[in-house]
Amino acid sequence: MITLIIGAIAVTLALVSAILIVNEKDVLKAIVLAGVESVFFAIALAIFLAPDLLIAYIAIGLGLNSLLFIYALKRGERYEEE
């Protein structure tokens, strides 16, 4: 019961951060917000009892993806134009 409530809160905050990424003009902020969204999905994975996914998901989804995108963003412009 209490674990389902925490899972519902985590999924709601992930939804809010996904909506904010779509409306964001600064791409560096969008990458950091994608890290936050991965944090909330990691809570959901721990709540629904999948510990063997966590060790791969945290290392790849949180660490390597944001590092890779910030490395690529040095080659071009930072802000998105309308």
Return the residues of window 25-54 that contact another protein according to CB under 8 A.
Answer: 26-39, 41-54
Least distance to another protein, CB of residue 25, Å = 9
Least distance to another protein, CB of residue 62, Å = 5
Tell me how many residues contact another protein (CB under 8 A).
76
Least distance to another protein, CB of residue 45, Å = 6
Tell me the three-class secondary structure of the chain, residue by residue.
Answer: CHHHHHHHHHHHHHHHHHHHHHCCCEHHHHHHHHHHHHHHHHHHHHHCCCHHHHHHHHHHHHHHHHHHHHHHHCCCCCECCC
